[in-house]
Amino acid sequence: MNRTHSLPPYVVAALLTVSVPVAAHAQSSTGSTGSSTVGAKPPVSSLTPADIKLLAETHIAIGLVHDSADARAAQSKNKTKDAQLELAQKKREAVAQVLTARGLTEDEYQRRRFVVSTNLELRTHFDSVVAKITGVPIPGRVAVAAAPGFVPAAQLPPGLVGTHIGHVTTSYVDTPDKMGLLPMAFAEAAVASQHATLATRTPTNLAAMQMHAGHVLNALDPSLMKEGPGKGYGLKKAAGGVAQHIELAAKETGASGGVKIHATHIAAAARGTLTRVDAAIALIRQIQSATDAKEAASLISQLASLCNQLAAGADTNADGRVDWGNGEGGLQQAQEHVQLLIAGEKK
């Protein structure tokens, strides 16, 4: 006798929290005559507002499933292998239920996510819908003055010393929106970390993991992956520019002792970031050539950890703190010493 299984509580929560009538979605894809073409899909560049709304609601519902399921997986009573496998299966079933309830296949959902992640206009619309539903402010809408690494021009030292420091902190000629190199590096690192984390959410989907790995690569070095959600400059180029221009500032005739000392620290932290960028790119190459989801998932886990260290650095010698040197430093350590440098020049 067949048994009817009830939905897990976290699926019910997801479906109740974000409800989308399937009939309404079907109607949106029906022509004025009331007929529709089975299997027909709009071009990737023509997602309608209704498509984006559906994607946003589905994204939120799946996020609720992941959050609830992951919380259960972290409980001590569920640490056994069998329990983890059972919970993972229930999570997959729950995600499938969310997609089915909204008239989407896994492939279509992933396709729409890709379109939105690579189109700024669609991404802005998507973010605004998510913000309206959840009440959480739109991500990425931060004033330039509040961006990590930014220093107002009025606080820079005079002369060529200040000019080179300004390239690091304030504005540079060839970056998007002429951002400073350090704020640019922070922005690209944030994209890389975000998409590495997204990849960890699909450990059984090789194509999805490889897609997000490509997004990470685009943020790290767009010369290796032209299309993606990055800013178009690349963390590798930005961090390299930070090291180069802060050292140029230290070499100027008018550079103070404080500038010379902190320039050494800033450059070392930037180069520590570059080392992690190179390691991340090597991992991505392995992920892109993987033929097995299990193999790729293991590499994705390493990539996510490494991408989190791009900004935060890493306590490699286990002394309880992250230093600017010894390969530990990341962008945050570079920023800390920029702030110390600027504070010293005000005296």
pLDDT tens sequence across 209-244:
999 999 999 999 999 999 999 999 999 999 999 999
Task: Supply the pLDDT for residue 129.
Answer: 82
Task: Supply the pLDDT for residue 246.
Answer: 97
Instruction: Find out whether 286 and 216 touch, Cβ atoms under 8 Å.
Output: no
Task: Supply the pLDDT for residue 144.
Answer: 39
Task: Supply the pLDDT for residue 127.
Answer: 80
Task: Supply the pLDDT for residue 185.
Answer: 96
Task: Supply the pLDDT for residue 138.
Answer: 59
Tokens at 338, concatenated? 């920029």
Instruction: Tell me the DSSP string of 88-150.
Output: HHHHHHHHHHHHHHTT--HHHHHHHHHHHHT-HHHHHHHHHHHHHHH-PPPTT---GGGSTT-
- Which residue ranges of the chain lie beneath pLDDT 70? 1-46, 135-146, 347
Instruction: Find out whether 102 and 25 touch, Cβ atoms under 8 Å.
Output: yes
| pTM value > 0.85 | no
Instruction: Find out whether 313 and 270 touch, Cβ atoms under 8 Å.
Output: no
Phi and psi at 329, nearest 5°, equal -60, 145
